[in-house]
Amino acid sequence: MAAFLFILPDSLGLLIFVGIPMGLALSLGFFSVDGFGGYKFVWFANYSRMLHDPLFLKSLWVTVVYVLVLVPGLYVTGLGLAVLVSQKIPFIAVWRSLFFMPYVVSLVVVGLTWKVMLIDKVGEYQLDEMVSSSYRPIEDYLPQILREEKGHISYGQQQLEQLMKSGDVGRAEAQAAVDKWYVVGLDMFGRSESARDERYIEWGLKKRTNGKMREDYIAEMDPKIAAIGLRVPDKLAGRKYL
């Protein structure tokens, strides 16, 4: 009983902060989400599409190679070094310090989960409105956030370009992504005739109206979409906020 009580806090933490989020993430895979709070149960459609995605299959293969090659190698190397530093050899204290140093220095593993560049571009437009605004508490953080958004946008564009080069299936996937997210991005600017726009501009919280931001967004993104080799979607099809 004492042993179970000792591991109970860690077990609860693992369940609450790892197990439950993993379960929720897996359950979302059975739904189609429109970005506006709408959920539609689609069974295994998302997973079927994922298993036919060449980028996913490539990532899966890289992960398999990583697990089969690197992980055992790390354990074998670690065991070998542990045996080595337990031997009585000259300067053993120095060698032990060198081998232990990587575990003392914090290592940050950065994973960039790419989103469609169109949506992150909308985020950049919205954040750019706050630069030098009257709301000072966020002024110190905005440059860093904007840099991250631009990184996401660049990565998303690279992924679309790779899809275009991967063949007919990849081009169809890229066009489908643009068809879906382009219109969603336009809606995310809000209503063109919003009654709050003029107040926010007067208060110094933004510089442009929703309609003006949307026009600038279209003027920037349409040429980029065409340059990649994709068709610019109908700007009114499926729109909710004009």
Domain limits of the chain?
26-104, 117-228
Distances (CA, A) of 57 to 67, 95, 96: 15, 42, 41
Q: Which residue carries 């120095």 as its tokens?
A: 94
pLDDT reported for residue 104? 46
Determine the Cα–Cα distance for residues 192 and 209; give it in Å rounded to an integer.
Answer: 7
pLDDT reported for residue 144? 79
**Any alpha helices (H) in 29-141, and if so which ranges?**
45-51, 54-65, 71-85, 92-104, 117-128
Residue ranges in the chain whose pLDDT is less than 70: 1, 34-37, 85, 91-117, 136
The DSSP secondary-structure symbol of 231 reads P
CATH class of 117-228: mainly alpha
Q: Which residue carries 């991250």 as its tokens?
A: 148
The pTM assigned to this predicted structure is 0.49
The DSSP secondary-structure symbol of 236 reads S
pLDDT reported for residue 101? 55
pLDDT reported for residue 123? 79
Q: In degrees to the nearest 10, what's the CA dihedral of 112, 145, 151, 188?
A: 90
φ and ψ at 24, to 5 degrees?
Answer: -65, -40
Determine the Cα–Cα distance for residues 143 and 128; give it in Å rounded to an integer.
Answer: 9
pLDDT reported for residue 99? 64
pLDDT reported for residue 41? 84
pLDDT tens figures, 128-178: 887 777 776 777 777 777 787 777 777 777 777 777 777 777 777 778 778
